Structure 1
Amino acid sequence: MAGSTAVLAAILLIDLVAFGLAIGAEQSRPSASLETDARKEWTYCVYRPDAATGMAGAALALLLVGQAVAAVASRCFCCGAALRPGGARGCALMLFLSSWLTFLIAEACLLAGLVQSAYHTGYRTVIFENPPDCETVRRGTFGAGAAFALITGVLTGFYYYNFSKARVAYQRPEAAIGMSRYS
Protein backbone atom coordinates (compact mmCIF):
# COMPACT_ATOMS: atom_id res chain seq x y z
CA MET A 1 0.00 0.00 0.00
CA ALA A 2 1.22 3.47 -0.79
CA GLY A 3 1.97 5.79 2.11
CA SER A 4 2.08 5.10 5.78
CA THR A 5 -0.56 2.74 7.10
CA ALA A 6 -0.16 4.24 10.56
CA VAL A 7 -0.97 7.75 9.29
CA LEU A 8 -4.00 6.49 7.37
CA ALA A 9 -5.22 4.55 10.41
CA ALA A 10 -4.71 7.59 12.66
CA ILE A 11 -6.68 9.84 10.31
CA LEU A 12 -9.57 7.39 10.08
CA LEU A 13 -9.60 6.62 13.81
CA ILE A 14 -9.55 10.29 14.85
CA ASP A 15 -12.34 11.17 12.44
CA LEU A 16 -14.38 8.13 13.49
CA VAL A 17 -14.11 9.16 17.16
CA ALA A 18 -15.15 12.71 16.19
CA PHE A 19 -18.15 11.21 14.38
CA GLY A 20 -19.10 9.19 17.47
CA LEU A 21 -18.82 12.22 19.74
CA ALA A 22 -20.98 14.30 17.40
CA ILE A 23 -23.63 11.55 17.37
CA GLY A 24 -23.45 11.49 21.17
CA ALA A 25 -23.91 15.26 21.26
CA GLU A 26 -26.99 14.92 19.04
CA GLN A 27 -28.45 12.30 21.38
CA SER A 28 -27.86 14.38 24.52
CA ARG A 29 -29.04 17.76 23.28
CA PRO A 30 -30.16 20.00 26.14
CA SER A 31 -33.82 20.47 26.85
CA ALA A 32 -35.58 23.26 28.68
CA SER A 33 -38.82 23.63 30.56
CA LEU A 34 -40.82 26.63 31.73
CA GLU A 35 -41.02 27.09 35.47
CA THR A 36 -42.76 29.66 37.62
CA ASP A 37 -41.39 31.15 40.79
CA ALA A 38 -42.86 30.49 44.24
CA ARG A 39 -44.99 33.65 44.21
CA LYS A 40 -46.32 32.84 40.72
CA GLU A 41 -45.19 36.18 39.30
CA TRP A 42 -42.45 35.19 36.88
CA THR A 43 -41.87 32.43 34.37
CA TYR A 44 -38.37 31.42 33.39
CA CYS A 45 -36.49 28.67 31.56
CA VAL A 46 -34.81 25.82 33.41
CA TYR A 47 -32.22 23.84 31.40
CA ARG A 48 -31.28 20.33 32.38
CA PRO A 49 -27.54 19.65 32.52
CA ASP A 50 -26.23 18.29 29.24
CA ALA A 51 -23.12 16.63 27.94
CA ALA A 52 -23.68 17.85 24.38
CA THR A 53 -21.48 20.90 24.83
CA GLY A 54 -18.45 18.88 25.92
CA MET A 55 -18.96 16.19 23.30
CA ALA A 56 -19.38 18.72 20.50
CA GLY A 57 -16.26 20.58 21.63
CA ALA A 58 -14.26 17.35 21.67
CA ALA A 59 -15.58 16.37 18.22
CA LEU A 60 -14.67 19.82 16.91
CA ALA A 61 -11.12 19.51 18.24
CA LEU A 62 -10.63 15.93 17.02
CA LEU A 63 -11.83 16.79 13.55
CA LEU A 64 -9.27 19.59 13.46
CA VAL A 65 -6.54 17.22 14.65
CA GLY A 66 -7.46 14.71 11.92
CA GLN A 67 -7.11 17.35 9.21
CA ALA A 68 -3.83 18.55 10.73
CA VAL A 69 -2.41 15.01 10.70
CA ALA A 70 -3.32 14.63 7.02
CA ALA A 71 -1.89 18.05 6.16
CA VAL A 72 1.38 17.42 7.98
CA ALA A 73 1.77 13.92 6.57
CA SER A 74 1.24 15.10 3.01
CA ARG A 75 3.00 18.42 3.51
CA CYS A 76 -0.25 20.21 2.71
CA PHE A 77 -0.37 18.89 -0.87
CA CYS A 78 1.09 22.01 -2.48
CA CYS A 79 4.28 22.39 -0.42
CA GLY A 80 5.51 18.83 -0.74
CA ALA A 81 7.58 16.82 -3.15
CA ALA A 82 6.81 16.47 -6.83
CA LEU A 83 3.95 14.17 -7.73
CA ARG A 84 3.80 11.80 -10.64
CA PRO A 85 1.51 13.17 -13.36
CA GLY A 86 -1.60 11.13 -13.91
CA GLY A 87 -4.88 10.03 -12.43
CA ALA A 88 -3.68 9.63 -8.85
CA ARG A 89 -2.48 13.24 -8.70
CA GLY A 90 -5.72 14.59 -10.19
CA CYS A 91 -7.80 12.44 -7.87
CA ALA A 92 -5.71 13.55 -4.90
CA LEU A 93 -6.31 17.19 -5.81
CA MET A 94 -10.09 16.70 -6.06
CA LEU A 95 -10.18 14.75 -2.80
CA PHE A 96 -8.01 17.39 -1.11
CA LEU A 97 -10.44 20.16 -2.04
CA SER A 98 -13.50 18.05 -1.21
CA SER A 99 -12.17 16.98 2.17
CA TRP A 100 -11.44 20.58 3.18
CA LEU A 101 -14.90 21.69 2.04
CA THR A 102 -16.65 18.98 4.06
CA PHE A 103 -14.33 19.70 6.98
CA LEU A 104 -15.37 23.36 7.00
CA ILE A 105 -19.06 22.41 6.83
CA ALA A 106 -18.67 19.91 9.68
CA GLU A 107 -16.81 22.45 11.81
CA ALA A 108 -19.48 25.09 11.13
CA CYS A 109 -22.31 22.73 12.11
CA LEU A 110 -20.55 21.59 15.27
CA LEU A 111 -19.56 25.12 16.22
CA ALA A 112 -23.09 26.46 15.69
CA GLY A 113 -24.54 23.67 17.82
CA LEU A 114 -21.84 24.12 20.45
CA VAL A 115 -22.49 27.84 20.80
CA GLN A 116 -26.25 27.35 20.93
CA SER A 117 -25.89 24.52 23.45
CA ALA A 118 -23.60 26.54 25.70
CA TYR A 119 -25.80 29.64 25.60
CA HIS A 120 -28.79 29.38 27.92
CA THR A 121 -31.20 32.26 27.89
CA GLY A 122 -32.27 33.66 31.21
CA TYR A 123 -35.29 35.61 30.11
CA ARG A 124 -38.00 36.16 32.66
CA THR A 125 -41.44 37.49 31.95
CA VAL A 126 -44.42 38.38 34.04
CA ILE A 127 -46.82 35.43 34.25
CA PHE A 128 -49.65 37.09 32.32
CA GLU A 129 -47.39 38.10 29.39
CA ASN A 130 -46.16 35.76 26.67
CA PRO A 131 -43.92 33.02 28.09
CA PRO A 132 -40.18 33.26 27.31
CA ASP A 133 -38.62 31.37 24.46
CA CYS A 134 -36.51 28.56 25.88
CA GLU A 135 -34.11 28.20 22.98
CA THR A 136 -32.26 24.92 22.56
CA VAL A 137 -30.17 23.37 19.82
CA ARG A 138 -32.24 22.41 16.80
CA ARG A 139 -32.60 18.73 16.12
CA GLY A 140 -30.09 17.66 13.49
CA THR A 141 -27.47 20.35 14.04
CA PHE A 142 -25.00 17.96 15.65
CA GLY A 143 -26.23 15.19 13.36
CA ALA A 144 -25.28 17.21 10.29
CA GLY A 145 -21.88 17.85 11.85
CA ALA A 146 -21.51 14.12 12.48
CA ALA A 147 -22.43 13.23 8.90
CA PHE A 148 -19.95 15.72 7.47
CA ALA A 149 -17.30 14.53 9.95
CA LEU A 150 -17.71 10.98 8.64
CA ILE A 151 -17.58 12.15 5.02
CA THR A 152 -14.49 14.22 5.86
CA GLY A 153 -12.78 11.17 7.35
CA VAL A 154 -13.47 9.05 4.28
CA LEU A 155 -12.41 11.76 1.83
CA THR A 156 -9.26 12.56 3.81
CA GLY A 157 -8.32 8.88 3.93
CA PHE A 158 -8.75 8.49 0.18
CA TYR A 159 -6.88 11.77 -0.37
CA TYR A 160 -3.89 10.58 1.64
CA TYR A 161 -3.89 7.23 -0.16
CA ASN A 162 -3.98 8.83 -3.63
CA PHE A 163 -1.40 11.45 -2.64
CA SER A 164 0.95 8.72 -1.43
CA LYS A 165 0.33 6.70 -4.59
CA ALA A 166 1.24 9.69 -6.78
CA ARG A 167 4.35 10.40 -4.72
CA VAL A 168 5.80 6.87 -4.69
CA ALA A 169 8.86 6.32 -6.88
CA TYR A 170 8.61 9.56 -8.79
CA GLN A 171 11.89 11.24 -9.51
CA ARG A 172 11.80 14.73 -10.92
CA PRO A 173 13.82 14.85 -14.12
CA GLU A 174 17.11 16.66 -13.75
CA ALA A 175 17.44 19.91 -15.61
CA ALA A 176 20.24 19.42 -18.08
CA ILE A 177 21.72 21.57 -20.74
CA GLY A 178 23.53 19.80 -23.53
CA MET A 179 27.15 20.90 -23.26
CA SER A 180 28.87 18.58 -25.69
CA ARG A 181 31.27 19.79 -28.34
CA TYR A 182 29.01 18.78 -31.20
CA SER A 183 25.80 20.50 -30.12
Structure 2
Amino acid sequence: MAGSTAVLAAILIIDIVAFGLAIGAEQSRPSARLETDAQKDWTYCAYRPDGATAMGGAALALLLVGQAVAAVASRCFCCGAALRPGGARACALVLFISSWLTFVIAEACLLAGLVQTAYHTGYRTVYFENPPDCETVRKGTFGAGAAFAFITCLLTSGYYYNFSKSRVNFHRREATIGMTPL
Protein backbone atom coordinates (compact mmCIF):
# COMPACT_ATOMS: atom_id res chain seq x y z
CA MET A 1 0.00 0.00 0.00
CA ALA A 2 1.32 3.40 -0.92
CA GLY A 3 2.00 5.98 1.75
CA SER A 4 1.83 5.64 5.46
CA THR A 5 -0.75 3.17 6.64
CA ALA A 6 -0.80 4.84 10.05
CA VAL A 7 -1.71 8.21 8.54
CA LEU A 8 -4.44 6.68 6.40
CA ALA A 9 -5.81 4.79 9.42
CA ALA A 10 -5.74 7.97 11.53
CA ILE A 11 -7.66 9.89 8.87
CA LEU A 12 -10.26 7.12 8.60
CA ILE A 13 -10.72 6.68 12.36
CA ILE A 14 -10.94 10.40 13.12
CA ASP A 15 -13.41 11.08 10.31
CA ILE A 16 -15.59 8.05 11.13
CA VAL A 17 -15.76 9.10 14.79
CA ALA A 18 -16.76 12.60 13.62
CA PHE A 19 -19.45 11.02 11.46
CA GLY A 20 -20.74 8.99 14.40
CA LEU A 21 -20.84 12.04 16.66
CA ALA A 22 -22.75 14.02 14.04
CA ILE A 23 -25.29 11.19 13.78
CA GLY A 24 -25.56 11.21 17.57
CA ALA A 25 -26.12 14.96 17.55
CA GLU A 26 -28.92 14.51 15.02
CA GLN A 27 -30.56 11.88 17.20
CA SER A 28 -30.39 13.98 20.38
CA ARG A 29 -31.65 17.28 19.03
CA PRO A 30 -33.23 19.38 21.79
CA SER A 31 -36.96 19.73 21.99
CA ALA A 32 -38.98 22.48 23.59
CA ARG A 33 -42.44 22.76 25.01
CA LEU A 34 -44.54 25.70 26.10
CA GLU A 35 -45.04 26.08 29.82
CA THR A 36 -46.85 28.60 31.94
CA ASP A 37 -45.80 29.99 35.27
CA ALA A 38 -47.60 29.17 38.52
CA GLN A 39 -49.87 32.24 38.32
CA LYS A 40 -50.67 31.53 34.66
CA ASP A 41 -49.56 35.01 33.65
CA TRP A 42 -46.67 34.15 31.35
CA THR A 43 -45.86 31.47 28.79
CA TYR A 44 -42.29 30.51 28.04
CA CYS A 45 -40.27 27.83 26.28
CA ALA A 46 -38.81 25.02 28.38
CA TYR A 47 -35.96 23.14 26.68
CA ARG A 48 -34.96 19.68 27.76
CA PRO A 49 -31.24 19.10 28.25
CA ASP A 50 -29.49 17.78 25.17
CA GLY A 51 -26.21 16.28 24.12
CA ALA A 52 -26.39 17.66 20.60
CA THR A 53 -24.23 20.68 21.38
CA ALA A 54 -21.37 18.64 22.82
CA MET A 55 -21.54 15.94 20.14
CA GLY A 56 -21.85 18.46 17.31
CA GLY A 57 -18.90 20.46 18.65
CA ALA A 58 -16.78 17.33 18.98
CA ALA A 59 -17.71 16.26 15.43
CA LEU A 60 -16.79 19.72 14.14
CA ALA A 61 -13.40 19.60 15.89
CA LEU A 62 -12.60 16.02 14.85
CA LEU A 63 -13.46 16.68 11.23
CA LEU A 64 -11.08 19.63 11.31
CA VAL A 65 -8.35 17.46 12.89
CA GLY A 66 -8.81 14.76 10.24
CA GLN A 67 -8.46 17.28 7.44
CA ALA A 68 -5.41 18.81 9.13
CA VAL A 69 -3.74 15.38 9.45
CA ALA A 70 -4.20 14.78 5.72
CA ALA A 71 -2.95 18.28 4.85
CA VAL A 72 0.15 18.00 7.04
CA ALA A 73 0.96 14.47 5.90
CA SER A 74 0.76 15.44 2.24
CA ARG A 75 2.18 18.94 2.76
CA CYS A 76 -1.11 20.34 1.46
CA PHE A 77 -0.58 18.89 -2.02
CA CYS A 78 1.03 22.05 -3.38
CA CYS A 79 3.95 22.62 -1.00
CA GLY A 80 5.55 19.19 -1.24
CA ALA A 81 7.95 17.48 -3.59
CA ALA A 82 7.20 16.85 -7.24
CA LEU A 83 4.77 14.09 -8.04
CA ARG A 84 5.02 11.44 -10.70
CA PRO A 85 2.91 12.38 -13.73
CA GLY A 86 0.00 10.12 -14.44
CA GLY A 87 -3.44 9.09 -13.36
CA ALA A 88 -2.68 8.97 -9.63
CA ARG A 89 -1.59 12.60 -9.60
CA ALA A 90 -4.64 13.74 -11.57
CA CYS A 91 -6.94 11.71 -9.34
CA ALA A 92 -5.23 13.14 -6.24
CA LEU A 93 -5.83 16.68 -7.52
CA VAL A 94 -9.54 16.04 -8.17
CA LEU A 95 -9.97 14.33 -4.79
CA PHE A 96 -8.05 17.13 -3.05
CA ILE A 97 -10.41 19.80 -4.38
CA SER A 98 -13.49 17.65 -3.77
CA SER A 99 -12.50 16.75 -0.22
CA TRP A 100 -11.98 20.38 0.73
CA LEU A 101 -15.31 21.34 -0.82
CA THR A 102 -17.22 18.67 1.09
CA PHE A 103 -15.23 19.51 4.24
CA VAL A 104 -16.36 23.14 4.08
CA ILE A 105 -19.98 22.07 3.54
CA ALA A 106 -19.83 19.60 6.44
CA GLU A 107 -18.31 22.19 8.75
CA ALA A 108 -20.96 24.74 7.73
CA CYS A 109 -23.80 22.30 8.44
CA LEU A 110 -22.35 21.31 11.81
CA LEU A 111 -21.71 24.92 12.75
CA ALA A 112 -25.24 25.91 11.76
CA GLY A 113 -26.61 23.11 13.93
CA LEU A 114 -24.43 24.22 16.83
CA VAL A 115 -25.57 27.82 16.56
CA GLN A 116 -29.22 26.79 16.38
CA THR A 117 -28.82 24.41 19.33
CA ALA A 118 -27.00 26.93 21.49
CA TYR A 119 -29.56 29.66 20.86
CA HIS A 120 -32.45 29.15 23.24
CA THR A 121 -34.94 31.96 23.27
CA GLY A 122 -35.92 33.42 26.57
CA TYR A 123 -39.01 35.18 25.29
CA ARG A 124 -42.04 35.37 27.50
CA THR A 125 -45.46 36.51 26.47
CA VAL A 126 -48.67 37.19 28.29
CA TYR A 127 -50.77 34.04 28.58
CA PHE A 128 -53.61 35.25 26.36
CA GLU A 129 -51.36 36.53 23.54
CA ASN A 130 -49.71 34.46 20.83
CA PRO A 131 -47.33 31.89 22.36
CA PRO A 132 -43.59 32.39 21.84
CA ASP A 133 -41.84 30.56 19.02
CA CYS A 134 -39.71 27.84 20.61
CA GLU A 135 -36.95 27.50 18.04
CA THR A 136 -35.03 24.26 17.86
CA VAL A 137 -32.62 22.75 15.38
CA ARG A 138 -34.30 21.74 12.15
CA LYS A 139 -34.41 18.05 11.53
CA GLY A 140 -31.58 17.09 9.21
CA THR A 141 -29.12 19.89 10.00
CA PHE A 142 -26.71 17.62 11.85
CA GLY A 143 -27.68 14.78 9.48
CA ALA A 144 -26.49 16.78 6.49
CA GLY A 145 -23.27 17.52 8.35
CA ALA A 146 -22.87 13.80 9.06
CA ALA A 147 -23.45 12.88 5.42
CA PHE A 148 -20.89 15.38 4.20
CA ALA A 149 -18.47 14.28 6.95
CA PHE A 150 -18.71 10.71 5.64
CA ILE A 151 -18.18 11.86 2.04
CA THR A 152 -15.22 13.94 3.23
CA CYS A 153 -13.81 10.84 4.93
CA LEU A 154 -13.97 8.85 1.71
CA LEU A 155 -12.57 11.64 -0.47
CA THR A 156 -9.75 12.54 1.94
CA SER A 157 -8.71 8.90 2.29
CA GLY A 158 -8.75 8.48 -1.49
CA TYR A 159 -6.80 11.70 -1.91
CA TYR A 160 -4.09 10.66 0.53
CA TYR A 161 -3.83 7.21 -1.04
CA ASN A 162 -3.48 8.58 -4.58
CA PHE A 163 -1.12 11.31 -3.43
CA SER A 164 1.11 8.71 -1.78
CA LYS A 165 0.89 6.47 -4.82
CA SER A 166 2.07 9.25 -7.10
CA ARG A 167 5.07 9.93 -4.84
CA VAL A 168 6.30 6.32 -4.71
CA ASN A 169 9.49 5.65 -6.67
CA PHE A 170 9.54 9.00 -8.39
CA HIS A 171 13.08 9.97 -9.33
CA ARG A 172 13.93 12.75 -11.72
CA ARG A 173 16.04 11.78 -14.66
CA GLU A 174 19.45 13.29 -14.64
CA ALA A 175 20.84 14.78 -17.80
CA THR A 176 23.19 12.13 -19.16
CA ILE A 177 24.85 11.36 -22.43
CA GLY A 178 24.55 7.77 -23.51
CA MET A 179 27.91 6.06 -24.00
CA THR A 180 27.04 3.01 -26.09
CA PRO A 181 29.33 1.48 -28.71
CA LEU A 182 26.97 2.27 -31.58
Distance in 2 separating the partners of 1:96 and 1:19:
19
In the other structure, the counterpart of 1:150 is 150
2:34 aligned with 1:34, yes or no? yes
In the TM superposition, residue 161 of structure 1 has moved relative to its aligned partner by: 0.3
Match of 2:3, SS state, is coil
Match of 2:46, SS state, is strand
Distance in 1 separating the partners of 2:173 and 2:17:
42
Tell me, which stretches of 5 or more residues in structure 1 are unaligned? 179-183
2:60 aligned with 1:78, yes or no? no
2:164 aligned with 1:137, yes or no? no
Give the aligned length.
177
In the other structure, the counterpart of 1:181 is none
In the other structure, the counterpart of 2:64 is 64
With the length of structure 1 as denominator, give the TM-score of the two structures. Answer: 0.94
* Alignment deviations for residues 71-112 of structure 1 (CA, whole Å, 9 cap, x no partner): 000000000010001110000000000000000000000000
In the other structure, the counterpart of 1:169 is 169
Letter in 1 for 2:19: F
In the TM superposition, residue 13 of structure 1 has moved relative to its aligned partner by: 0.4
Moved over 3 A (4+): none
With the length of structure 2 as denominator, give the TM-score of the two structures. Answer: 0.95
In the other structure, the counterpart of 1:101 is 101
Match of 1:83, SS state, is coil
Letter in 2 for 1:55: M
Tell me, which stretches of 5 or more residues in structure 2 are unaligned? 178-182
Letter in 2 for 1:65: V
In the TM superposition, residue 128 of structure 1 has moved relative to its aligned partner by: 1.1
Aligned-residue identity in percent: 84
